[in-house]
Amino acid sequence: MNDDFDSDTGDDDLFSDDINHDVPFHHAGTLMELNDNKAGMADLDKEKISRIIEEASKGSKFYDHKKKQQERIDAKIADLLRKKKAITEEQLKNASAKVGQIVRNLEKSRDLSRTFVHVDMDAFYAAVEMRDDPSLRDKPMAVGGPGMLATSNYLARRFGVRAAMPGFIGQKLCPDLIIVPPNFEKYRAVNAIFSEVFAKYDPNYSAMSLDEAYLDITEFLRLDQNVRKPSDLSHAEEVVSDLREEIFLATQLTASAGIAPNTLLAKVCSDINKPNGQFYLRPERPVVAEFVEKLSVRKACGIGKVTEQMLNALGITTCAEMFEQRALLSLLFSEISALSFLRVSMGLGSTFMGDSDAPAKSVSNERTFKATSDADFLRDQCRRLCEELSEDLVRKQLQAKSVTIKLKTDTFDVKTRVRNLPEATWNADVLCRHVVPMLESEMAPKRAFRLMGVRASNLCEKSANQQSTLDAILKQPSGTERLCPVCSTSLAKLSLALVNAHLDRCLSGSQQDDVQCPICSGFFRRPEIEHHAATCEGAATSTTPSVKSAPIRKRGAAREDGFVPRDECQRKPKKQLTLSAFFDQRKSES
């Protein structure tokens, strides 16, 4: 075991200047200039920040919930420490031997041959808003609403204003804080622009969100023949500097980047010289070892607030300490967790690109509202969530075999209930018929909810085969009226949800005579529903969103339990095609 990971690291200061290459740009008077005013007159220190936050939240239901949550974590930690106490020398010795073997294997698998870059836009949403409204540039601002902030600019961060903080608390920390509502379409458009830059450096880049991506530039470096001025910078640093410059020229926004031999390290590195900087970690084992040694475990992607607390309780703060305790950790945590801790502490990370086109495993839709126990309101909310989810499923050409309802009480306690469906579906009515009973069994006169959500999982994709038939349908001249391919009823005036409901029912060959109107929940005979629904919908959309009372649901005959006719979405490869064709049509119209 003398080949332990940290056994041969030198004493050189590997963070000295010749290794830590910070490469800022020097655009005169651009965004994001932190007037580095010293012991900030306006700045708030940590004490003051937490005091204000504390005062703003004390006594609230949210605060109480957080407290209870923390108590559960403390109990878990106490458990962990008890478990640790019970471990014998003998067990530790055995574990140590086992882990030693794993360490050797991991070490053998270490690959320093590839160059990964993690690119992360600086204060992304806020930077876009500042770019487009110069009056915001020298002011503390955040993007979001009074209830929640998505991010803040760097000036606001000095006051402690951060992402995932409610806006009203942000304003207590910083009375001059300007809160701008988000423009997601804009961020998507900006993302599309700099994504083209990513693609030039790695056509296989992997986007993690609208503002960050991993690139493997190994290949690019091999092919890059650009002649550059002599400099202290490595080839990789030059290239990444170019990349960031290109992003800036294309968007007027700055990005930060980390360059390292794997994605885990690249991500950590992108944070080091943020904003508008980059950090290069040389692909040499001792350099990586030294780097990781001092690294706080919290910096590793996957180790969050809770795990950090647990590790801290074991006396582990840095990755070096985590490596020292590897045998103990293998006894206290699951195999998966222990292995991931070990990899982090050795500075090992992924050296290949994640599947960016991996199929989705779930699709969900949830909404927070004013806490209520009103049954009609909740059922109505539930139905809307199902309808919206259904549209999403159709758009993505996915059907669900399981559906989950999520409820959050006014005290912030969350409950989820799943139900497996007899047949995969994307039909809003079907989803709804399964979800509503789950909702009802959780409702109690006393209990008020502040959030409801519906999730589709166990997804199956509609086949490409079906997709092609759909294309044929779409080729119809745009002037022609859209008819239901099964019953030939005109569908021109119906909304996406209604067309969905109609087609699904028609295509399923359902024998059911009663059809429930998705708007008013009333039941109608098949030939009448389309006309009714069109008018009903017109009325509904013109009224305020918070319609308290939908008409009472009358239920004719049998089948309370949301039973789905067996052939609802079975068979009919061809007809399903038709269905999706319709939706694509509608989508391109709107």
Partner DNA sequence: GATACTGAG
Partner DNA sequence: CTCTCTCAGTATC
The residues carrying an active-site annotation are: 212
The one of ligand DCP, DNA, Mg ion, none whose footprint includes residue 165, by CB under 5 to 8 A per kind, is DNA
48 vs 571, which CB is nearer to DNA? 48
Site pattern 91..120 for ligand DCP (x: CB under 6 A) = -----------------------------x
Q: 294 in helix, strand or coil?
A: coil
CB of 450 to DNA, least distance (A): 6
Which option in DNA, ligand DCP, Mg ion, none does residue 274 bind, with CB closer than 5 to 8 A by kind? ligand DCP
| Calpha distance 392→363 (Å, rounded) | 8
From DNA, ligand DCP, Mg ion, none, interface partner of 334 (C-beta below 5 to 8 A by class): DNA
Peptide linkage before 275 cis (omega within 30 of 0): yes
469: amino acid identity, one letter: T
The SS3 assignment for 259 reads: strand
Among 19, 52, 112, 163, binds ligand DCP (CB under 6 A): 163
The enclosing H or E element of 363 equals strand 362-372
Which lies closer to DNA via its Cβ, residue 301 or residue 460?
301
Please tell me whether residue 164 binds ligand DCP under the rule CB under 6 A: yes
Beta bridge pairs of residue 461: 398
Q: Which of 19, 306, 353, 550 binds DNA (CB under 7 A)?
A: 306
Residue 303 near which of DNA, ligand DCP, Mg ion, none (CB within 5-8 Å, type-dependent): DNA
DSSP 318: B
Tell me the per-residue interface mask from 42 to 61 with DNA, x by CB under 7 A, - otherwise.
Answer: --------------xx--x-
Strands (E), 122-164: 141-144, 149-152
Nearest CA among 236, 184, 235, 230 for reference residue 210: 184
Q: What does the CA dihedral 288, 203, 129, 451 come to, rounded to 10 degrees?
A: -80
| 460 belongs to the binding site for DNA (CB under 7 A) | no
Query: Cβ distance 273 to 59 under 8 Å?
Result: no
DSSP calls for 85-117: HT--HHHHHHHHHHHHHHHHHHHHH------EE
Query: Which structure tokens are listed for 434?
Result: 């399964």
Question: Of the ranges 207-215, 241-249, 380-388, 438-446, which one interacts with Mg ion (CB under 5 A)?
Answer: 207-215
Partners of residue 296 on adjacent β-strands: 318
C-alpha dihedral over 8, 13, 17, 23, to 10 degrees?
50
Cα within 13 Å of Cα(149), Cβ side? 27
199 makes contact, choosing from DNA, Mg ion, ligand DCP, none, with CB < 5 to 8 Å by partner type, with none
Site stretch for ligand DCP (CB under 6 A), options 17-25, 41-49, 123-131, 544-552: 123-131
Indicate the residue among 168 and 523 with the shorter CB distance to ligand DCP: 168
Residue pair 172/57 in contact by the 8 Å Cβ criterion: no
Cα separation, 384 vs 417, in Å, equals: 18
| Strand locations in 81-171 (E) | 116-121, 141-144, 149-152
CB of 123 to ligand DCP, least distance (A): 4
Please identify which residue in 129, 202, 211, 290 interacts with ligand DCP, judged by CB under 6 A: 211
Determine how many CB atoms are found less than 10 A away from the CB of residue 332.
Answer: 19
Among 5, 14, 120, 278, binds Mg ion (CB under 5 A): 120
Nearest to 273 by CA among 480, 385, 374, 122: 122
* x-or-dash string of contact with DNA, 127-146, rule CB under 7 A: -------------------x
Residue 210 near Mg ion by CB under 5 A: no
Is the Cβ of residue 188 or residue 555 nearer to DNA in the bound state? 188
Q: Does 417 bind DNA (CB under 7 A)?
A: yes
Nearest to DNA of 101, 420 (CB atom): 420
Q: In whole angstroms, what is the distance from residue 178 CA to residue 52 CA?
A: 18
Stretch in the footprint of DNA (CB under 7 A) among 13-21, 297-305, 470-478, 522-530: 297-305
Of residues 328 through 357, those in contact with DNA by CB under 7 A are 333-334, 336-337
In sequence order, what are the residues at sequence separation of 6 or more whose Cβ sits closer than 8 angstroms to the Cβ of residue 3?
Answer: 103, 104, 107
Q: What angle do CA 211, 215, 220 make, to 5 degrees?
A: 135
CB of 128 or CB of 329, closer to Mg ion: 128
For 491, list phi and psi in degrees, rounded to 5: -115, 10
211 lies in the binding site for Mg ion (CB under 5 A): yes
The entry of Mg ion, DNA, ligand DCP, none that residue 208 binds, CB within 5 to 8 Å by partner kind: DNA
Q: Are strands 523-525 and 514-516 parallel, antiparallel or unpaired?
A: antiparallel
- The gap from C-alpha 317 to its chain's centroid, in whole angstroms, comes to 27
User: In the complex, which residues of this chain contact DNA (CB under 7 A)?
Assistant: 56-57, 60, 62-63, 69, 72-73, 76, 146-148, 150, 163-169, 208-209, 211-212, 267, 300-308, 333-334, 336-337, 358, 360-368, 370, 402, 404, 414-420, 450-451, 453, 455
Name the residues that contact ligand DCP, by CB under 6 A: 120-125, 150-151, 163-164, 209, 211-212, 274-275
Binding stretches for Mg ion (CB under 5 A): 120-121, 124, 211
